[in-house]
Structure 1
Amino acid sequence: MKLSTKGRYAVMAMCDLATHAEGKPVALADIAERQEISLSYLEQLFAKLRRGGLVKSVRGPGGGYLLAHKAADTRISDIILSVDEPIRATRCMPGQPIGCRGNQSRCQTHDLWEELGNQIYLYLSSVTVEDVTARRILGTSGVMPGGCGAEDVSPLLAEAGE
């Protein structure tokens, strides 16, 4: 299963917005530059996020976007669903009695992939923008050398005898 750039970029932009707003609107051009995302693409995403009630727009000089809710109340799953990104691991449409095979039956592993999609959704529903910006997510980005934003941990590995 692969999350498209639409969902990933929307989450990246919302986390950037939460980090840089400080009570003032943030211009999309600033987010686009910091996150290396096309401004026109961000404009499309933020139109969807605004319709989804996740951001508020402020017009005029000094305008831009603000989170519509606290970062602690904004779930990652809501962001992804707002930009029309389905969270599923099957080719079939959820809830449909027919499968994705040529004869409209479901494959033997259908239930496995459907449950994986459910677990991904549950996980993303349990994570908020604040969790991401406060770095409360388990991962390797701050642990493994050479990772995106990674720290050099070779002294730590040497101490551990590795």
Structure 2
Amino acid sequence: MKISTKGRYGLTIMMELARRYGEGQMSLKAIAQKHDLSEHYLEQLVAPLRNAGLVKSIRGAYGGYILARTPEEITAGDVIRVLEGPISPVEFEEEEDPAKRDLWMRIRDSISEVLDSTTLQDLITYKDEGQADSYMFYI
């Protein structure tokens, strides 16, 4: 399974809204400018996110979007499924070999487990722990 720009940019939108959660709405124009993305493309992505109840739109001169739930309640899996469809590495329903079918199902389940256990809050507070301290020098 390859996540397309729809899924990646959709997560970008949702992470920006999560960062601003409780502070008010954010425009797609601001998100597009911050990440050097097409505002028109982001408009196409936000519609299914709104229809799925993940974001709410605020109309008006200072309108924009806000999360419909807290960042702790929305997972990466929620976003990816809305924009990419069902999570599956291959179409294995027609697989005749039970060993290969089991492999594809375990891969699907593992991907789902990671996506469903990673919230927007996790993504926006992620720190590459130990990266800066990965080398210890003694004199």
Give the TM bin, normalised by the shorter chain: 0.7 to 0.9
User: Residue deviations 1:101-147, cap 9 Å, x none?
Assistant: xxxx45853321221111111111111000111116xx68x82xxxx
TM-score, normalised to structure 1's length?
A: 0.75
Contact 1:25 1:64 in 2 (8 A): yes
Contact 1:13 1:35 in 2 (8 A): no
Change (3 A) 1:17 1:112: same
Number of residue pairs matched by the alignment: 139
Q: Distance in 2 between matches of 1:90 and 1:133?
A: 30
Paired AA for residue 125 in structure 1: D
Q: Distance in 2 between matches of 1:68 and 1:108?
A: 42
Change (3 A) 1:106 1:128: same
Contact 2:6 2:83 in 1 (8 A): yes
Paired AA for residue 71 in structure 1: P
Contact 2:25 2:66 in 1 (8 A): yes
Higher relative contact order (CA 8 A, sep 6+): 2
SS in 2 for 1:65: strand
Structure showing greater Rg: 1
Give the corresponding residue for 1:88. Answer: 88
Post-superposition offset of 1:22: 4.2
Q: Distance in 2 between matches of 1:17 and 1:54?
A: 11
Percent identical among aligned pairs is: 35
Match of 1:126 among 90, 102, 117: 117
Q: Unpaired segments of 5 or more residues in structure 1?
A: 100-104, 144-152
Deviates more, 1:79-88 or 1:46-55: 79-88
Change (3 A) 1:73 1:21: closer
Pairing of 1:72-151 with structure 2 (within 5 A): 72-92=72-92, 96=93, 98-99=94-95, 105-106=96-97, 109-135=100-126, 143=131
TM-score, normalised to structure 2's length?
A: 0.86
Post-superposition offset of 1:33: 1.3
